[in-house]
């Protein structure tokens, strides 16, 4: 207090270095391979912030988050710009070309962090948590951050960080008017910890979700929306032979072996196949066309054979072949020896299938015309079902399905949402609902018990997804 190191009137002869500025305004620019949890800025900006490479900075976008700062490449310097890892950018809710503020973070080692699994899927195992903990080592996190991480052998899953110890503020999404920098109210005043750094000893916990502890939900016909009469056809075609093979025997007719589902991505082809298998208690096998060609290169045919053998042994079975066009392209056009052999193998396996309807093959494609016509002959994929982009009514049904388990506020108008979403397929509508739920969740973050890293029951009960949440999700 006695010393005068602050510079007031611009003339400060004793200052040899540039003064450290508390906050800098930077423009968000695209960056490639920025590195997990990192942000790249000009080293001279780093110096102005009083930071060194590897330090943690807070990024104040429409939401505040933390990142590890690293120097930008030579060519990107001198532009007061920041490049962020995509997850960091998502957590800072900032878009390319927008301005954000940065400052050096007050960080502390994380003793514990608590995650809320957002997507369904298999229950989180202790080994998954250990994997996530290792994955996060060296990275800063804040309460309200979204994490996307794939545990070994699973598709990436999303988690929301709902608690840290010591606690960081719960950074929520600020509304942002165009051209204006958001006013971030809780950017960690005083000695408060703004972000915690995950270290090898950090304990990572998951809060169980709902009553079934995050166990995968059994899927059923009620999970498919917008198909109207098509669903009835699908059931007749697939369910009858799987469930009542004797009917076909008695009538002396050949049960269908293969059904082709075609339509744009995200219209529910995979979902339908899964539901049919679940509803008929059939074993479900999935073959991915491009994967079997590329990943099992040289073993594609033996791989196909073993799936068919397994399916017969574990009948009743459903074999779902996704992107079958990759596996069975028009032979005349590709002329490739490999493809020819694989198509040949698939046809031979289907022709040789003596399952009396107990093994059904469902093929899915976005481009039915790219298929080898031989696979659509009688006795093979001889039935087809077209899936279309849902209409207004279909979208309503699908929105209802995906918001079914969620607590919706009274003002949520599904019909209006369906009206606002022309061209959305089932997968788009599902992610809209998920996004809206995320926004709602972030709104209640301030009421979470961060010390214990858990959402109190009353908060969960009062947590509603509002129409405004859906509208915000639509804008993202």
Q: Would you tell me which residues interact with ligand ADP (CB under 6 A)? A: 224-227, 265-271, 364, 398, 401, 426-427, 430
Measured from the CB atom, the residue of 194 and 430 that comes closer to ligand ADP is 430
Spatial distance between the Cα atoms of 361 and 357, rounded to a whole number of angstroms: 10
Number of residues that this document lists for the chain: 476
Neighbours of 388 (CB within 10 A): 13
| Contact between residue 265 and residue 427 where contact means Cβ atoms under 8 Å apart | yes
Measured from the CB atom, the residue of 202 and 421 that comes closer to ligand ADP is 421
Residue position matching structure tokens 């009137």: 9
Q: Residue 155 Cβ, how far from ligand ADP at the closest point, in Å?
A: 11
Q: Residue 366 Cβ, how far from ligand ADP at the closest point, in Å?
A: 8
Q: Which residue is nearest to ligand ADP (CB)?
A: 426
Measured from the CB atom, the residue of 114 and 267 that comes closer to ligand ADP is 267
Measured from the CB atom, the residue of 130 and 232 that comes closer to ligand ADP is 232
Instruction: Report the chain's terminal Cα–Cα distance, integer Å.
Output: 48
Measured from the CB atom, the residue of 201 and 228 that comes closer to ligand ADP is 228
| Contact between residue 176 and residue 62 where contact means Cβ atoms under 8 Å apart | yes
Q: Residue 263 Cβ, how far from ligand ADP at the closest point, in Å?
A: 6
Q: Nearest Cα to 157, choosing from 166, 147, 167, 165?
A: 147
Spatial distance between the Cα atoms of 213 and 210, rounded to a whole number of angstroms: 6
- Which tokens sit at 36? 């997990």
Measured from the CB atom, the residue of 270 and 466 that comes closer to ligand ADP is 270
Measured from the CB atom, the residue of 155 and 461 that comes closer to ligand ADP is 155
Q: Residue 146 Cβ, how far from ligand ADP at the closest point, in Å?
A: 19
Q: Residue 390 Cβ, how far from ligand ADP at the closest point, in Å?
A: 7
| Contact between residue 106 and residue 191 where contact means Cβ atoms under 8 Å apart | yes
Q: Residue 133 Cβ, how far from ligand ADP at the closest point, in Å?
A: 29
Q: Residue 419 Cβ, how far from ligand ADP at the closest point, in Å?
A: 18
- Which tokens sit at 406? 């969620």
| Contact between residue 38 and residue 71 where contact means Cβ atoms under 8 Å apart | no
Spatial distance between the Cα atoms of 470 and 149, rounded to a whole number of angstroms: 25
């Amino acid at each position: 207090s006695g010393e005068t190191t602050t510079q007031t009137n611009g003339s400060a002869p004793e200052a040899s270095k540039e003064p450290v500025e508390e906050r800098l305004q930077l423009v968000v620019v695209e960056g490639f391979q920025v590195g997990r949890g990192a942000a790249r800025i000009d080293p001279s900006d780093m110096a102005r912030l009083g930071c060194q490479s590897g330090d943690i900075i807070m990024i104040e976008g429409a939401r505040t988050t933390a990142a590890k700062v690293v120097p930008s490449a030579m060519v990107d310097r001198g532009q007061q710009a920041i490049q962020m890892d995509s997850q960091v950018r998502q957590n800072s809710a900032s878009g390319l070309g927008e301005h954000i503020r940065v400052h050096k973070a007050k960080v502390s080692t994380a003793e514990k962090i608590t995650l809320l699994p957002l997507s369904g899927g298999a229950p989180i195992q202790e080994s998954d948590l250990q994997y996530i903990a290792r994955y996060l080592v060296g990275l800063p996190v804040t309460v309200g951050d979204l994490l996307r991480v794939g545990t070994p052998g699973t598709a990436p899953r999303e988690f929301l960080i709902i608690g840290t110890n010591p606690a960081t503020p719960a950074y929520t999404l600020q509304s942002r008017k165009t051209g204006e920098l958001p006013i971030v109210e809780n950017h960690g005043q005083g000695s408060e910890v703004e972000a915690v750094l995950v270290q090898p000893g950090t304990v990572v916990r998951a809060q169980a979700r709902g009553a079934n502890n995050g166990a995968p939900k059994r899927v059923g016909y009620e999970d498919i929306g917008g198909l109207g009469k098509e669903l009835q056809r699908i059931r007749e075609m697939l369910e009858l032979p799987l469930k009542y093979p004797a009917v076909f025997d008695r009538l002396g007719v050949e049960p269908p072996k293969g059904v082709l589902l075609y339509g744009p991505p995200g219209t529910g082809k995979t979902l339908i196949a899964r539901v049919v298998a679940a509803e008929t208690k059939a074993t479900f096998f999935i073959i991915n066309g491009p994967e079997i060609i590329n990943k099992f290169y040289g073993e594609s045919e033996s791989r196909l054979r073993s799936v068919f053998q397994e399916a017969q042994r574990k009948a009743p079975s459903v074999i779902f072949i996704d992107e079958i066009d990759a596996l069975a392209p028009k032979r005349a056009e590709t002329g490739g020896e490999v493809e020819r052999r694989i198509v040949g193998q698939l046809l031979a396996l289907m022709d040789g299938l003596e399952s009396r309807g107990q093994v059904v093959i469902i093929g899915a494609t976005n481009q039915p015309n790219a298929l080898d016509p031989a696979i659509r002959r009688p006795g093979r994929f001889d039935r087809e079902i077209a899936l279309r982009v849902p209409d207004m009514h279909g979208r309503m049904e699908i929105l209802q399905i995906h918001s079914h388990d969620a607590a919706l506020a009274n003002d949520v108008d599904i019909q209006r949402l369906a009206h606002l979403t022309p061209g959305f397929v089932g997968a788009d509508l599902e992610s809209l609902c998920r996004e809206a739920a995320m926004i709602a969740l972030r709104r209640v973050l301030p009421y979470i018990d961060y010390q214990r890293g858990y959402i109190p029951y009353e908060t969960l009960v009062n947590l509603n997804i509002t129409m405004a949440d859906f509208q915000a999700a639509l804008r993202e």
